Amino acid sequence: MSNESITRHRRGIGGGLAFVVSGPSGAGKNSVIDRVMEELSGLSYSVSYTTRPPRPHEIPGRDYHFISKEEFERLIAAGELVEHVRYLGDYYGTGIRQIEEVFARGEDVILNIDVQGAKTLRKKGLSHFSVVYVFLAPSSLARLEERLRARGTEDEEEIRARLAVAAQELEEIPEFDYLVINDDLERAVEELSGIVIAERARIVG
């Protein structure tokens, strides 16, 4: 058997893989994703839409597409979102066009999606590409609270609201394919990178 006939059984880079990374607000998803993308080739980030205002360190078009409620609802009505949720009064959603553009370039895509959004996506199902679901979180709610307070972007009421939502989100862990504990950034990056590499090497029919 030739090398070509062996390697064609692998998914490989550009095999239509979507890596959905979900977890509580403040879990450090963006930091881990950014590092994984620096280490692995053929992986592009899909920027989500949201109606919430940007935080001081966030850059429109890089962290999120910040749009109005009216524009978001137009995207919903036009069927341009593969999933969307409302979280603490604001909309969040993922555009299908960005994912298709990544695959057209022969790359895989990584997405940062709300836990409920990932749950919706899993129930809905997607055609033409495979989805790998990863739950990323610190080892406890106490650690999560430390991070939320340290970043200083929410007041006390918002922190309590996010922790209450996080407690519910942790109940969804069994619905995911992988769990990555982010108490140590280097370890979390290593684990998520390993998941991407392993899924690319998975045998396909």
Task: Please report, for the chain, the start and end positions of each structural domain, with discontinuous segments joined by +.
Answer: 13-200
What confidence tens digit (pLDDT) does each residue in 46-55 have? 999 999 999 8
Taking the domain 13-200, which CATH number applies?
3.40.50.300
Average pLDDT of span 145-174: 91
As a whole number of angstroms, the distance between CA 39 and CA 33 comes to 10
Average pLDDT of span 115-132: 81
Q: Would you give the DSSP letter of residue 62?
A: T
Residue 8 has a pLDDT of 67
> Does position 4 have pLDDT exceeding 90, yes or no?
no
The pTM is what?
0.86
The average confidence (pLDDT) of the chain is 89
> Does position 56 have pLDDT exceeding 90, yes or no?
no
As a whole number of angstroms, the distance between CA 175 and CA 171 comes to 9
Contact of 178 with 24, CB cutoff 8 Å:
no
Among candidate residues 203, 191, 36, 3, the one with its CA nearest the CA of residue 108: 36
Among candidate residues 172, 96, 82, 162, the one with its CA nearest the CA of residue 134: 172
Residue 134 has a pLDDT of 98
